[in-house]
Amino acid sequence: MTQAIEIKPDRETKEKTKVGNYFVSNYPPFSFWNESDIPCVDSMLNSPSPGTEPLGIYYHVPFCRKRCHFCYFRVYTDKNSNDVRRYLSATMKELKTYAAAPYLQGRKPKFVYFGGGTPSYLSAQQLTELTDQMKSIISWDEAEEVTFECEPGTLTEKKLEAIKNFGVTRLSLGVENFNDHILDINGRAHRSGEVFKAYDFARKLGFQNINIDLIAGMLEETDENWSACIDRTLELEPDCVTIYQMEVPFNTTIYKNMKEEGKLSAPVAEWPKKRQWVSEAFSRLEQAGYSITSTCTAVKDPAATKFIYRDRLWAGADMIALGVASFGHLGGIHYQNLTHFDQYCEAMESTQPVIRRALMTTEEERFIREFILQWKLGKVNRSYFEKKFKIDLTQRYGELFEKWKQMGDLIENGDELKLSRDALLRVDSMLHDLFLPQHQDSRYV
């Protein structure tokens, strides 16, 4: 496998799933973040005036029972109780540093997100003590949403009670699939029986918003099994269903096996098949009364079920990043923390900088970032970008919009520009047309 083939983003492929990141999760691409912009973060934090954008907190829990074969996040399966305590202590030191910064004075988070890894890997006592400390450093009393990611096999009724008690409003269950064989060969730690037990506990406890994650295109997925997964989902009636299409980034076990075998295409479904599966799921969910609200989400009641973390971030909110390898955004500056466990903990223990790379964005880049990400909601409004960025979308992108309309991808309805269902499911392959020239043909990460 040549280096030239490896570095091309998977958007270049037409059918087969090849190695690389296909989905656009930020802009400019992570591959442009650098060490030279790291001082910009400190300068922003020490600016005399507090920021005015909504504020959020992302807390990364890097511990897992097993590493999934498709996982590309920074996770650890070999840490003991002393390592966990050390990590939790380091993150609280980091939060205290942010709390003292002038840029954040007087500001309280509108959303808090616990991601991983596996946040539910921590014990009920650890979670209670951790969140009590967090609230004592920066109050959550204005938080509109607290999201908590869970691996079903780590949940007990006692742990779910603790999670509910510290304020979680959006519980996200990483189900991925309901077939135990498929869960096993994809490296998942849980089994389907644990899903139903955890879901039943959560419903009885009265969580405001329960989300179920599914992945279309896992190893050995079939039409019949996918249809059965949708059946099980409809039986549970979650408030929100998130369906991801399988991609194969570079730092996954699947890619490592491909490299050893000299393969260019991943042993998962082709893109048209994955889109077909998501389309089938969306259609059946709509028939059951759900609304499709993004490239990957269906919600039962859009008026009551929000995803504030996503919507705030895609509209330019600030977000504090806590923990190893976590990503943040402050005043138009993107940044990522150190990406190795000991390196991160040692930096916090010695009061050294923990940021690994950053990017100070331009006004133009901030506009394109919001424009790109909001397309993933399936629609954008001209007036929003006219008011915030003083940009007339039709004047700037009229030719591109006309091309999309001729292809049947775009529907104009007054102020609203809306994607067709087919375009929604492959919008990431269209977003590259909006990248600035210097960001074209680059790796996303």
What pLDDT sits at residue 11?
53
Instruction: Tell me the whole-structure pTM to 2 decimals.
Output: 0.95
326-353 mean pLDDT: 97
Are 301 and 386 in the same domain? no
Assign residue 96 the CATH number of its domain: 3.80.30.20
Tell me the three state secondary structure of residue 226.
helix
Inter-residue contact 258 to 248 (CB < 8 Å): yes
Domain count, the chain: 2
Closest CA to 120 of 70, 157, 90, 93: 157
Q: Taking the CA of residue 102 as centre, how many other CA atoms within 13 Å lie in the half-sphere pointing to its CB?
A: 7
Q: Are residues 59 and 137 in the same domain?
A: yes
Does any domain span residue 177? yes
Domain of 247?
Answer: 24-312
Same domain as 187, residue 67: yes
> What residues are paired with 57 via a beta bridge?
112, 320
143 and 237 fall within a common domain: yes
CATH number of the CATH domain containing 416: 1.10.10.920
More confident residue, 164 or 250: 164
- Please give the pLDDT value at position 258: 87
Looking at residue 7, its pLDDT comes to 37
- Same domain (yes/no): 107, 225: yes
| Whether 406 and 261 share a structural domain | no
Answer yes or no: is 5 within a domain.
no
Residue 324 lies in a domain: no
- Residue 314: helix, strand or coil by DSSP? coil
Inside any domain, residue 130 = yes
Domain check: are 103 and 168 in the same one? yes
Is 86 contained in some domain? yes
Which is higher by pLDDT, 379 or 266? 379
Phi, psi of 170 (to 5 degrees): -125, 110
One-letter amino acid of 252: T
Query: Final residue of a domain: which of 244, 279, 312?
Result: 312
Residues 305 and 368 in one domain: no
For 206-237, what is each residue's pLDDT tens digit? 999 999 999 999 999 999 999 999 999 999 99
Which of 312, 336, 371 is a domain's end point? Answer: 312
Co-location of 294 and 393 in the same domain = no
Same-domain check for residues 210 and 305: yes
Backbone angles phi, psi at 267, to 5 degrees: -80, 45
Asked if 182 and 73 sit in the same domain, the reply is yes
Cα 384 to Cα 393: distance, rounded to the nearest angstrom:
10
Asked whether residue 195 carries a pLDDT value surpassing 80, the answer given is yes
Q: Is the pLDDT of residue 362 over 60?
A: yes
The reply to whether 229 falls in a domain is yes
Write down which residue in 249, 281, 312 finishes a domain.
312
Residue 443: the pLDDT is 81
Alpha carbon distance 326, 320 (integer Å): 9
